[in-house]
């Protein structure tokens, strides 16, 4: 797939680059941004001309609907540099489609491909130097859309702003992750917005996550809201369980976000001859597997960390520690996937797209 550049896109270059002030060896995730941002407004029923301009704050009215009713969605992607200094994206069309699915659910306008992918191609072309070579170096991409129309009447806005900002990042390592299984709080419900990458899904998680952290757990494994018996996601990642030598992950639904990493790991595992079953795993099954020793691994899957191994979980005040493994599926799959992303292994799936 080739990325188009919009025929009309204004580019205003920054007068100087901030890149020389950045310590690429010591980057805290998501705090440093590149020299430029892409901005494209929607008004009077139409997307306007996109502009790439110096990264800077902007003014919007205090009554803008994003502040009051949370009409806000986003995506998370990464760009990678290979040994020949070429820059690559991983399955960007998946992010475009998911973004527009989120937009629809939040009564926001869909963003055309030439603005989303074409605009991304144009801004990445300008910021190539910010994508560093070497396994673990990435440029994290944050496309997002907010309702900027003013007025506190509770109706969808008629004006929106789509933006892309870029943040250099080192591979994300969150340390040892212990999780607690949700018995009361829920991330999502049938008929709700759990399948959308909506800002509100994240704010709704902060309080339960804070309570979990106070008890010494880094993340929550979310269960279904109706019965709290099915395991659904780990924090803001999809979740996989390995029982004996089979990997299990829940099917996507209205409550589970359709992660690009999740679906890629499923295909990769199948190619590697690892047995994968897409079905709900019950909390009881997990507890029993932990007790009889057949539970080998739990890991989260998402763009930021790729794979995030979990060392143990707590349920109803009992903590279950996972065994330390020699042949971890999580680490094997992470290694295989990252090598495809950095063009260090052949991309037999056709997932990588050159900028
Ligand atoms: C973004 C996200 C994921 C992971 O999706 P990727 O496309 O793999 O990055 C999983 N769960 C939730 C709730 C998310 O918001």
205 Cβ inside 6 Å of ligand 1: no
102 Cβ inside 6 Å of ligand 1: no
Ligand 1 center to residue 76 CA distance, Å?
8
For the segment 158-173, the average pLDDT, to the nearest whole number, is 92
65 Cβ inside 6 Å of ligand 1: no
257 Cβ inside 6 Å of ligand 1: yes
236 Cβ inside 6 Å of ligand 1: yes
Rounded Cα–Cα distance for residues 130 and 138 (Å) = 9
237 Cβ inside 6 Å of ligand 1: yes
Write down the pLDDT at residue 5.
62
User: Does position 148 have pLDDT exceeding 70, yes or no?
Assistant: yes
Ligand 1 atom closest to the Cα of residue 187 is 13
pLDDT digits (tens, 9 = 90+) for 19-51: 999 999 999 889 999 999 999 999 999 999 999
Ligand 1 atom closest to the Cα of residue 94 is 7
Ligand 1 atom closest to the Cα of residue 76 is 9
Ligand 1 atom closest to the Cα of residue 261 is 8
For the segment 181-193, the average pLDDT, to the nearest whole number, is 96
For the segment 331-339, the average pLDDT, to the nearest whole number, is 96
Write down the pLDDT at residue 4.
57
Ligand 1 atom closest to the Cα of residue 98 is 7
Residue 41: φ, ψ to 5°:
-100, 150
Ligand 1 center to residue 153 CA distance, Å?
31
157 Cβ inside 6 Å of ligand 1: no
171: confidence class by pLDDT, cuts 50, 70, 90: confident
Write down the pLDDT at residue 305.
87
Write down the pLDDT at residue 158.
97
- Which residue out of 259, 265, 333, 334 has the highest number of ligand 1 atoms within 8 Å of its CB and is therefore the one to mutate? 259
Evaluate whether 205 touches 187 at the Cβ level (below 8 Å): yes
pLDDT digits (tens, 9 = 90+) for 311-323: 999 999 999 999 9
For the segment 13-17, the average pLDDT, to the nearest whole number, is 96
User: Does position 122 have pLDDT exceeding 50, yes or no?
Assistant: yes
Protein residue closest via CA to atom 3 of ligand 1? 237
Protein residue closest via CA to atom 11 of ligand 1? 237
259 Cβ inside 6 Å of ligand 1: yes
118 Cβ inside 6 Å of ligand 1: no
Q: What is the mean pLDDT of the chain?
A: 95
User: Does position 2 have pLDDT exceeding 60, yes or no?
Assistant: no
User: Does position 107 have pLDDT exceeding 70, yes or no?
Assistant: yes
For the segment 319-328, the average pLDDT, to the nearest whole number, is 92
300 Cβ inside 6 Å of ligand 1: no
Q: pTM for this structure?
A: 0.96
Q: Which of 2-6, 49-53, 209-213, 266-270 has the lowest mean pLDDT?
A: 2-6
Ligand 1 center to residue 166 CA distance, Å?
18
197 Cβ inside 6 Å of ligand 1: yes
Evaluate whether 166 touches 208 at the Cβ level (below 8 Å): no
Beta bridge partners of 146: 72, 161
Write down the pLDDT at residue 326.
87
pLDDT digits (tens, 9 = 90+) for 221-279: 999 999 999 999 999 999 999 999 999 999 999 999 999 999 999 999 999 999 999 99
Write down the pLDDT at residue 3.
54
167: confidence class by pLDDT, cuts 50, 70, 90: very high
Rounded Cα–Cα distance for residues 277 and 208 (Å) = 29
For the segment 120-129, the average pLDDT, to the nearest whole number, is 96
Write down the pLDDT at residue 8.
85
1: confidence class by pLDDT, cuts 50, 70, 90: very low
The rounded Cα 86 to chain-centroid distance in angstroms is 23
User: Does position 173 have pLDDT exceeding 80, yes or no?
Assistant: no
Protein residue closest via CA to atom 13 of ligand 1? 236
């Amino acid at each position: 797939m080739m990325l188009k550049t919009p025929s009309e896109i204004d580019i205003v270059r920054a007068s100087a680059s901030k890149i020389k002030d950045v310590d690429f060896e010591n980057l805290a995730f998501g705090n440093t941004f590149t020299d430029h941002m892409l901005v494209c407004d929607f008004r009077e029923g139409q997307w306007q001309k996109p502009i790439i301009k110096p990264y800077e704050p902007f003014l919007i009215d205090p009554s803008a609907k994003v502040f009051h009713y949370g009409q806000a969605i986003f995506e998370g992607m990464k760009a990678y540099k290979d040994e020949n200094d070429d820059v690559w994206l991983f399955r960007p069309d998946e992010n475009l489609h998911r973004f527009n699915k989120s937009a629809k659910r939040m009564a926001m306008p869909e963003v055309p491909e030439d603005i989303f992918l074409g605009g991304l191609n144009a801004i990445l072309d300008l910021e190539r130097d910010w994508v560093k070579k070497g396994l673990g170096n990435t440029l994290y991409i944050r496309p997002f859309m907010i309702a900027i129309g003013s007025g506190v009447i509770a109706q969808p806005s008629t004006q929106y702003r789509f933006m892309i900002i870029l943040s250099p990042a080192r591979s994300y390592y969150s340390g040892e992750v212990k999780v607690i299984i949700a018995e009361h709080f829920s991330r999502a419900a049938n008929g709700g917005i759990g399948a959308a990458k909506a800002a509100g899904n994240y704010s709704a998680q902060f309080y339960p996550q804070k309570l979990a952290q106070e008890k010494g757990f880094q993340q929550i494994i979310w269960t279904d809201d109706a019965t709290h018996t099915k395991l659904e996601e780990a924090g803001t990642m999809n979740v996989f369980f390995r029982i004996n030598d089979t990997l299990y992950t829940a099917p996507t639904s209205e409550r589970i976000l359709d992660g690009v990493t999740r679906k890629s790991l499923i295909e990769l595992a199948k190619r590697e001859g690892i047995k994968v079953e897409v079905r709900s795993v019950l909390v009881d099954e997990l507890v029993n597997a932990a007790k009889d020793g057949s539970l080998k691994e739990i890991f989260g899957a998402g763009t930021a960390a790729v794979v995030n191994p979990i060392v143990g979980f707590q349920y109803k005040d009992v903590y279950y520690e996972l065994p330390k493994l020699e042949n971890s599926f999580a680490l094997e799959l992470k290694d295989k996937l990252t090598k495809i992303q950095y063009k260090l292994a052949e991309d037999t799936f056709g997932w990588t797209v050159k900028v």
